């Protein structure tokens, strides 16, 4: 099963991914995490990506597609993948369709997590990230069990450079301009599930599980798909599709 978590910065893609990969037994492919690992390793690709990430801009499509292509050639991805933060432009989505088709696969479901802008800014301003495993925390909203240490591996948590308020705001506007149009691409394929991303982490997780259904790739009975979704206006005040 191939799934994608889609939504603005701070909507909870990484948070939900950590649970979904265990539930569905597929690996998370977060382009943001892949770039941060390249930066940490001091590679050429990492250096190129960093200049864009530091500004809150998207990394160019050719670099992003190269890293995804490389990741999808690893054997652990043959049973499916949970994409997190990819695809983020229409050309990336078109190329991903082509790559999946070449492997006899397709995008089964795109989970669109909608959250009001003011909530996003609050979440990003306080976010703590584990540099080792990528898990995210928040002192008020999702605190670690032991102050400033990752629950999973005990690594000291850090604040991401691009979570500084001015860069976070830039990332949100880049999302609105360059990434939201990707949704129309997947609505045409009738694979988008609109999820209310407000409320507790558990509540959002349960909404996602209801929408995605059993781990078979088939949508759960009764969820809204196809034509009615395309016509549905997003809830007021949320970052929604146009």
In the three-class reduction of DSSP (H, G, I as helix; E, B as strand; rest coil), residue 233 is classed as coil
CA 180/CA 95 separation, integer angstroms: 17
Active site residue 109: no
Residue 14 touching Mg ion (CB under 5 A) = yes
Would residue 168 be called left, alpha or beta, if left means φ above 0 and alpha means ψ between -120 and 50 degrees? alpha
Measure CA 162 to chain center.
16
Pick what 123 binds: Mg ion, ligand AP5, none; C-beta below 5 to 8 Å, kind-dependent.
ligand AP5
Residues 30-49 that bind ligand AP5 (CB under 6 A): 30-32, 35
Residue 187 touching ligand AP5 (CB under 6 A) = no
Give the closest residue to 20 by CA, choosing from 214, 205, 223, 234. 205
Residues 124-143 that bind ligand AP5 (CB under 6 A): 127, 136-138, 141-142
Pick what 142 binds: Mg ion, ligand AP5, none; C-beta below 5 to 8 Å, kind-dependent.
ligand AP5
Residue 238 touching ligand AP5 (CB under 6 A) = no
Q: CA angle, 36 as apex, 240 and 99 as ends, to 5°?
A: 65
Give the closest residue to 11 by CA, choosing from 95, 122, 87, 99. 122
Give me the numbers of helices (H) and strands (E) for the chain, helices first please: 10, 7
10 or 46, CB closer to ligand AP5?
A: 10
Residues 154-173 that bind ligand AP5 (CB under 6 A): 162, 171
Residues 72-91 that bind ligand AP5 (CB under 6 A): 85-88
Which residues are designated catalytic? 13, 88, 127, 160, 171
**Which residues here bind ligand AP5, judged by CB under 6 A?**
7, 9-15, 30-32, 35, 52-53, 56-59, 64, 85-88, 92, 123, 127, 136-138, 141-142, 162, 171, 200-201, 204
């Amino acid at each position: 099963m191939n799934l994608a978590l889609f939504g603005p910065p701070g909507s909870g893609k990484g948070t939900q991914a950590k649970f979904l990969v265990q539930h569905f037994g597929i690996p998370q492919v977060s382009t943001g995490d892949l770039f941060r690992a390249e930066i940490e390793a001091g590679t050429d690709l990492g250096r190129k990506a960093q200049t864009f990430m530091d500004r809150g801009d998207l990394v160019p499509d050719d670099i992003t597609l190269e890293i995804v292509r490389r990741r999808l050639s690893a054997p652990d991805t043959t049973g499916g993948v949970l994409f997190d933060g990819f695809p983020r432009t229409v050309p990336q989505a078109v190329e991903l369709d082509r790559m999946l088709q070449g492997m006899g696969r397709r995008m089964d479901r795109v989970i669109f997590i909608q959250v009001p802008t003011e909530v996003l800014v609050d979440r990003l301003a306080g976010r703590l990230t584990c540099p080792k495993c990528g898990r995210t925390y928040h002192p008020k909203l999702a605190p670690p069990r032991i102050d400033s240490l990752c629950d999973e591996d005990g690594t000291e948590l850090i604040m991401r450079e691009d979570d500084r308020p001015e860069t976070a705001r830039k990332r949100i506007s880049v999302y609105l301009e360059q990434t939201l149009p990707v949704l129309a691409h997947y609505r045409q394929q009738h694979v988008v599930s609109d999820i209310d991303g407000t409320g507790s982490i558990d509540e959002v997780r349960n909404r996602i599980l209801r929408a995605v259904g059993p781990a078979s790739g088939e949508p759960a009975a009764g969820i809204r798909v196809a034509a009615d979704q395309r016509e549905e206006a997003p809830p007021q005040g949320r970052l929604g599709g146009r």
